Amino acid sequence: MKSLVTGGAGFIGSHLTEALVARGESVSVLDNLATGYLENLDAVKNQIEFIQGDLADLETVQKAARAVDVIFHQAALPSVPRSIKNPRASHDANLTGTLNVLIAARDNQVKRVVMASSSSVYGNSPALPKVETFEPAPLSPYAVTKLAGEYYARVFAALYGVSTICLRYFNVFGPRQDPTSQYAGALAKFIACALRGEPYPVYGDGEQSRDFTYIENVVRANLLAARSEVDGAAAVNIAGGARTTLNQIIATLNELTAQNLPTQYGAPRAGDVLHSHADISRAGALLGYAPTVDVREGLRRTVEWYARNPEHKSSR
């Protein structure tokens, strides 16, 4: 089977690319390196085709999708705060890029598109856990682009027969996540602070909770989705299946690093969701998905990776 991974030099995409290569599959990566690093692909760079290009250019995407069986569409301009600051950039990268991927999948008769969506589509509804049947209520331009991408997938499935599965990721973390960006995820920043012995920065009181999901679980979900017999354009939660507060994460990191670093609390950020927890029963029923690495073990592995790789670009 031949696969195309968009955003394959990024955090999630590079892990997925490695997993596909390990299965003996032919893999192409399309990435403009806006937020990804070629260094992330060092382990497989001689076993893949790397295409540097932008998803906003339809011709580039069309060429990359030729003779491809599955497209793993991971590319996006991430971050809620980034999208609030520059909604146009998020729209162009996320929604125009997704539309071009679906057009290329249609024109090249790609068998399956596995698309990265986001738990942010649920917004700040107090109802927990989040079930796929909940009415979406996005609070940021980023969330809007992800939800609109799902709608495009439904339309392309209905009109053109493009088989798509949209995976709603819940707070993915793990090795290679860039903690240096001002838009980095909380866990990447916390781990960097733990290794430097610095206070943890928290927006709000730290009691906001997330369904943190270790990268290995997300990669497995993508591989299962590529082979699922589900038709149409199903949206499926992919998560660890448990709620953890930021204060609990900090306590675990202090324990893992044998420290007692303080926390610096600040004002909450606009657009942030207070609580997030996924119902993953649909993922189990449709894909056979179940998380295999819990939050504590994922944190332990991630801390060890950053400690071993201080010179990696995503660690600086």
The CATH number assigned to the domain holding 161 equals 3.40.50.720
* pLDDT (mean) for 94-121: 97
The pTM assigned to this predicted structure is 0.94
Evaluate whether residue 191 is within a structural domain: no
Residue 147 has pLDDT above 90, yes or no: yes
Evaluate whether residue 250 is within a structural domain: no
Evaluate whether residue 198 is within a structural domain: no
Which tens digits make up the pLDDT trace of 179-218? 876 556 789 999 999 999 999 999 999 999 999 999 999 9
Indicate the residue type of 139.
L
For this structure, is 142 an active site residue?
A: yes
Candidate list 142, 169, 289, 306, residue with the active-site label: 142
Which tens digits make up the pLDDT trace of 235-253? 999 999 899 999 999 999 9
178 — pLDDT class (breaks 50, 70, 90): confident
Residue 276 has pLDDT above 90, yes or no: no
Domain total of the chain: 1
Q: Tell me, what's the pLDDT at 236?
A: 98
Which tens digits make up the pLDDT trace of 58-102? 999 999 999 999 999 999 988 888 899 999 999 988 999 999 999
Task: Find the domain containing 144 and state its range.
Answer: 2-170+214-241+277-292
Of the two residues 82 and 257, the one the predictor is more confident about is: 257
Q: Tell me, what's the pLDDT at 126?
A: 84
d(CA 74, CA 40): 15
Cα 124 from chain centre: 19
d(CA 254, CA 245): 14
Evaluate whether residue 190 is within a structural domain: no
Evaluate whether residue 66 is within a structural domain: yes
Evaluate whether residue 132 is within a structural domain: yes
DSSP code at position 45: T
Evaluate whether residue 14 is within a structural domain: yes
Evaluate whether residue 270 is within a structural domain: no
d(CA 111, CA 180): 37
